[in-house]
Chains A and B, each alone.
Chain A
Amino acid sequence: MRWRHPVFAALMSALFALAATAEEAGISVRDAWVRETPPGMTMTAGYMVLQNKTSRPQVLVAASSSAFETVMIHRTVARQGMTGMEHSPQVELPPNASLLFAPGGYHLMLLNPKRTLRAGDRVEIRLEFRGDLVLLVACEVRK
């Protein structure tokens, strides 16, 4: 497949190169999904399994997506018999371990979707790790 616009082509190859770096560095993601947005709501959450196959800790420092105005790394925490959300500026993946982003725990808080998301759609989320590693994650929208 050929990219028509040279600048776009360069940009895309750069992105893929970066993404490849993270994969090669040994970070992978599986079971990535985003909850369908209930009508009238401007926020939802994204979940996945992050795997660090390296022998060093890896640190997730940011997330973004062209499908949402804002993406934040959040964690649902329990305190004094209540649950609430806390912003996690960064999340460390221990060496050779998996970290679960799942309901009731870590999640990507997705604010202001740019279009209505329906089950079956796909959205891409960009994860940034310390050391300029980037991973592009394809997420399935599920109800």
Chain B
Amino acid sequence: MLTAVVLAALLAGVWLAAAYRENGSRAILLPDQVMTLFPAPKPLAAFAFKDHEDRVFDLSRLKGKWSFLFFGYTHCPDICPTTLATLARAHENIAKSTAGAKDVQFVFISVDPNRDTASKLRQYVTYFDTTFLGVTGGDAQLGNLAGQLGAAYQVAVTRGMENYPVYHTAAVFLVDPRARYHAVFAPPLDAEGISRRFQVLRELEGPKAT
């Protein structure tokens, strides 16, 4: 029944997600405007980035963990630091929960590899949270993963222009421990909104997802 409601809402193009209710052991996710939950999570195909330690960051690095993915760039004074600070607080909340945050990772994907070197990314993401990962790759690889997630971005690299414009989605994508695109959080984001819904989702999916 719930699945039917969720599916109907999705088909109707309604932003879904989650007011939640906990009844002792029972928790359910209901439609709301913060999180869109996909009834049939979409398995992701191979991609290849490098992380801020210069290690390969590919599909295998998404397996066995819930991954929060955010696309941005470091020369971004407003949305990116705001979102990373929000995600850092969401991470704190999740870490304080009974299930903890051992099975969770936060990945900042730079769409501006031209300026965002590994060392720049390391300095930047670890400032917000020492466990955050910064990754990036070439245009083809960025387009590959962004395309799989429906994440829009546009970089207008301009010769001789230091602060060229970059446009990117402000959504946060949630990939489950089987490397399937499972849910998306729509802006404006708040830490409690994210962590509460995630904890219910993880509890519901726990045994199935891993």
Contact = CB atoms under 8 A, between A and B. Distances in A.
Is B one of A's binding partners?
yes
A82 B81 contact: no
A44 B188 CA distance: 19
Given A39-B124, A82-B168, 12 more contacts: A35-B77, A38-B124, A41-B74, A41-B124, A44-B77, A74-B77, A76-B79, A83-B167, A83-B169, A85-B78, A85-B165, A143-B85
A103 B76 CA distance: 12
B157 to A, nearest CB: 14
B170 interface: yes
B43 interface: no
Contact of A74 (B78, B187, B188): B78
Given A45-B77, A104-B188, A38 B170 contact: no
Give the dominant DSSP class at A's interface: strand
Interface of A: 35, 38-41, 43-45, 74, 76, 78-85, 103-104, 107, 109-111, 143
B40 interface: no
A84 B82 contact: no
Interface in B127-181: 127-128, 152-154, 163, 165-170
A82 B167 contact: yes
B123 interface: yes
Contacts of A143: 85
B127 A76 contact: no
B21 interface: no
Interface in B71-88: 74-75, 77-79, 81-82, 85
Q: Name, among B81, B120, B127, the residue most crowded by chain A CB atoms within 10 Å (CB to CB).
A: B81
B124 A107 contact: no
A76 to B, nearest CB: 5
A12 B154 CA distance: 46
Contact of A104 (B74, B78, B154): B78
A20 to B, nearest CB: 31
A38 B153 contact: no
